Structures are given as C-alpha cells and as structure tokens.
Amino acid sequence: MAPPKKKIIFLTNSDYGQANVVLSVAYALVHKSQDVEVHIASQARLKGPTSRLVKQLTADLGAAAVDAVKFHEVAGLSHFDSVDRPGNPTMETWLVNPNFSNVTRNMLNIAGLALPWSPEEFVEIYQDLERIWNDVKPHVTVAEAFFAPALTFCNRIKMNWIVLAPNTIKDFALPLQPKMAMLWKYPVICSSLPFPVPLHLIPFNVFYNVVAGVTVSTNKRHTRVSGHLHKVIGPDTQLLTMNQLGLVKAPPQGLRLLVANSPDIDFPFEVLPEFITPCGPITRAAPAISDTTQDPEMASWLSRGPTVYMNLGTHHFFDVPLAREVALAFRRLFDLAKCSKPLGQGNLQVLWKMPRKTSDGDDTDPSSTDFLGPWKEIKSILSPEMDNDQVRILDWIIAEPKSILESGNVVLSVNHGGSNSFHEALCTGIPQVVLPGWADCYDFAQRAEILGIGKWANRKAKPYWKRDELGDCLEGVLFGPHAKMIQARAKDLSKRHPEGAGRLKAAVEILALLDGPEFKV
C-alpha cells in the first residue's frame, strides 16, 4: 500500500497579480512530484482558475492528477477588493502624474496597501484560515506575501512555512543595502525617479522614504488590528504584513521569501539578504494558442505576419483621447514599416486590447466594439489596416496573454509594466515598450531599459501617453539603430530564463521543506 501523500497548502489572495504565482508553482509541484497533495485556500474568485489548473494537469498527466489540487474557500475580501472600496484610496488616486504632491499623498496612503482590512475582517479571515489549516493538517504551508492574515497566522503557529511573493528583490532588499542606499540611490516606489537617483533629486527620494516610514510606523489601522488580534486570538499574536517582510524591517528569524525574479534581471544590489531566495520569473504554463481552450482562429491570424501586441492589463481603460494617441502612434509605425526592412514574413499587424470608458461627448456603450460616434475617429486613423484585418482592436481577448506571446509571431509587447506582463515577455524573448502608470510599474519600465530589452514610452506623459513619445519608442525598438541589439538582448535573456524555470525552482525549494529522503532535491 502506497504511503499517504504529503500535503502542501497555499494561503493566498484571489487577486490575479498575487494568485498567479501560486497557480504557477502548484502546477510545477504536481509535475515535479506525484507524492504530494496540493491545497489552495483563497477567496471564491480563485475557484474557477483552480478548476482550470486541475483540467490542465489532467490533460498533462492523466487521471493521477484529478485529485492532485484541492480548493478551499476562505471567508472575507481579497486584498484588492479590500483596497478598492469606499474609505480607501481608489485606483484613480494611484493612476496620477507622479509629481511631488501626488507621490507624497501616495506615500501617506501606502500603509493601507499592506493592511486594507478592518480589525473584524482581519480576524474573520484569520480564523477561517485556522479552520482550514486544522482540517487539512499540511506538512508545509506557503503564504502569499500580500495576504497579511495568512502571514500573521503562520507566524503565530510557528509551523513549517515559507513565503511566496510575486515581487522582485528590490521590494524586500533595500533596507539592508549598505550606506543607506535605499534613501539616495534607489527610486522609491510610485515616484518614477530615475535609477540611480540623480544628485538633485536625492532630497525628494529621502523625503518620500521618510514619509512612508513614518506613515507605516504610526498607522492607526495597524494599531487597531493588532489590538483586536490580542483581544480575540491572544496577547502573543504579532501582526505581520508585507511591511515586516523586508520593506521596513527584516522578517522573523528563519523565515524565507521566494521571490519571482533574480539578480541578473533586477536593479543591481551590493547585498542580497539571506532570507531572500530568488527563483527567476514565475510564470504560468499556458496552452498553445491553437488549443481549443484558447483561440485557434486568433492563432491563424497571428501566423499571417509579425505582430505588435498591446495589453495594458486590467486597470487601464481607454476614452477617445487616449485611444487617439495610441492610434496615431500606430499610424506612424505602419507608415514606417512600408519603407523599412521587413520584420518577418507577411505584413506588420497590431493586436490591441482596448477596454473602453466614456468621455465628454461620448454616449456610446463602453462595452461596444463598434466604432460609432466619436470612436469613428479611431477607425479613420487606422482604416486601411483595419479594413485589411491587419489591426484588431478588442475589448477582451479570449486567449491568455502568455499563449499569445508564445505563438512565435509577436515581435513587440506593449504593456503597462506589471510583473506578470514584464516577466512573460522576458521569458519569451520579446522586446518591450512599457507604459507604466503607478506603483512598481515604473520600476519595470526602468528594468526594461537597464537590461536593454525595451523602452520606457511615457517618461514625459506619465501616467498616460502621447503619440510622439510612444511613436518614437515603437520605432526605436522595431526599426531604430539599436533595434537589432534590443532584439538580440531580449533573446539572450529568454535563454537564461526559459519558460517554467522559475516555477520549478520555487517548487523545488518548497519540496525541500518536506521530511523524508524521497523529497530531498
């Protein structure tokens, strides 16, 4: 009789940016070892993606994978749902020009990002996680870094656990850099300051860091939640958030963090803290775009020619003025492509994910994909290519972004600098044009330029974009004097970070926490 499987549980928010790395590593764990049983505890939103993960594993591994991943619904709100509601700063307060007043305001709000739950909500989630954990009785627990109730629970129980973060090394390593480099060398999050910070801007960077530090250390919600935990759970309960994982102070002794990048694709550091284990990009395995679960028709369209793929994530919406700037930048690109050396077989194409929002003088349905009313202008700018089906502008794309990138036909990724978008393009060897609008997206735009794999295309127009600046960067990456160098550099980095290597590294680290020689790697 086979011995019982060892159990590994992930405690995670259901938000895509955080849960993506959990689903990625869960996939790798089941592939790596048939002797483990994976559990995922999260809010209801993640139930569907977990079911799709099981189907994907079953297609890969057969019937043995049917019960390899089990889902447990957690009470309460996810991190993003807690942030994005009345009483907290809305997304619009972050999507602003990063001038002095706006960055200062964001630093004043930054403590709320780490702890958006009320005391009662926090304890409700904590207790539900405790219930699930006691039912599962896992051998190893993996807590996602943004899920403060899970961090607090794991730390109190003193279990066999580790933290999995979708973040980069920079997010956790700065306080331990020598000579207080955090203050004068590395741009603070949300600031969009250059790296290294120029001499004349150092006072601003120091000020932003001080404001953030004071805000975090004097946060009243932290005091209220901590007090409620002491009252309901026990006086020995230490509230643990992402800020206590290296952002403000080092994590608890012995706790390790698995992060989703590596030193060669991050900002340069003099010190890599011992508690950080870089895994490289942790990306999800995606079906081929020709697969019936994706979009075979789109696969056929992509195969017609080299394609520019523009996807600015889930939080960017376009009104007519914003769409006009992009359309005019693409108009310039198409005109240039006609008199430039071909990028490959076939004509240049553009796939543009463009969810709409209304603006003054626009009474059309935002969910419409027709170009009526003021939207006629967008089609008129690109009408020859749209009539020839060289341009597809869609509010939603069925296929996963990674499936599109891995099609072999995408020659440029225009993205917002989100961690998933940046790393997926990096692993597929595709140059990037980055249009960051908030938070750490500015850091990823700078990484693209530091690494030589792309351009920051709204340095002047941030948090949005203008036709000339965007057009210059599109031209520079595809046809400019340094285009071949950028394309070669992107291919080189993809060879050093092949698809799946990061999630496998994280899986190996987690398996090593299990007892028994069969799990030693």
Structural domain count of the chain: 2
Report pLDDT for 90.
61
Are 508 and 375 in a shared domain?
no
Tell me the mean pLDDT in the region 423-447: 96
Give the C-alpha separation, 330 to 472, whole Å. Answer: 11
* 303 and 230, same domain (yes or no): no
Is the pLDDT at 521 greater than 50, yes or no?
Answer: no
Structure token pair of residue 482: 């340094």
pLDDT band at 520 (very low <50, low <70, confident <90, very high): very low
Give yes or no: residues 76 and 206 share one domain: yes
pLDDT tens digits, one per residue of 374-406: 999 999 999 999 999 999 999 999 999 999 999
pLDDT value at position 519? 44
Token pair belonging to 295: 């979009």
pLDDT level of residue 364 (50, 70, 90 thresholds): confident
| Closest to 42 (Cα-Cα) out of 32, 53, 31 | 53
Residues 94 and 154 in one domain: yes
**pLDDT value at 17 more than 90:** no
Residue 290 lies in a domain: no
Together in a domain, 481 and 510: no
Q: Is the pLDDT of residue 336 over 80?
A: yes
d(CA 413, CA 407): 13
Q: Give the mean model confidence (pLDDT) for residues 485-490.
A: 98
Of 264, 266, 244, the C-alpha closest to 255 is 244
Task: Identify whether 334 is part of a domain.
Answer: yes
Do residues 361 and 445 share a domain? yes
Dihedral sign (CA 224, 229, 235, 237) = negative
Query: Is the pLDDT reported for residue 211 higher than 70?
Result: yes
Same domain for 406 and 354, yes or no, is yes
- Domain of residue 442: give its range: 296-496
- pLDDT for res 113: 86
| Phi and psi, residue 235, nearest 5° | -65, -15
Which pLDDT value is given to residue 446?
97
159 vs 140: CA distance, rounded Å: 8
The answer to whether the CB of 519 falls within 8 A of the CB of 35 is: yes
pLDDT in tens, 147-197: 999 999 999 998 999 999 999 999 999 999 999 999 999 999 999 999 999
266 & 219 share domain: yes
Q: Does the structure show a pLDDT above 70 at 33? A: yes
Residues 256 and 390 in one domain: no
pLDDT at 517: 41
Residue 327 sits in the same domain as residue 224? no
The predicted pLDDT at position 158 comes to 84
Both 279 and 353 in one domain: the answer is: no
Average pLDDT of span 441-461: 98
Q: Report d(CA 371, CA 392) in Å as an integer.
A: 12
Helix or strand holding residue 155 (H, E): helix 148-157
Q: 465 lies in a domain?
A: yes
- Residue 289 maps to a domain: no
- Least confident span in 93-107, 297-311, 485-499: 93-107
Question: What's the rounded mean pLDDT across residues 32-56?
Answer: 96
Q: Residue 27 domain-assigned?
A: yes
For residue 58, tell me if it sits in a domain: yes
Query: Residue 1 pLDDT more than 80?
Result: no
For position 247, which CATH number holds?
3.40.50.2000
Within-domain flag for 52: yes
Tally Cβ neighbours within 10 Å of residue 176: 19
pLDDT higher than 50, residue 337? yes
Model confidence at 4, pLDDT cuts 50, 70, 90, reads: confident
pLDDT of residue 516: 46
**CA end-to-end distance (rounded Å), the chain:** 24
Mean pLDDT of 252-267: 96
Please report the pLDDT score of residue 362 as a whole number.
Answer: 77
What is the percentage of the chain residues whose pLDDT exceeds 90?
84
Same domain, 321 and 199: no
Instruction: Decide if 509 is inside a domain.
Output: yes
Compute the mean pLDDT over every residue in the chain, rounded to the nearest whole number: 94
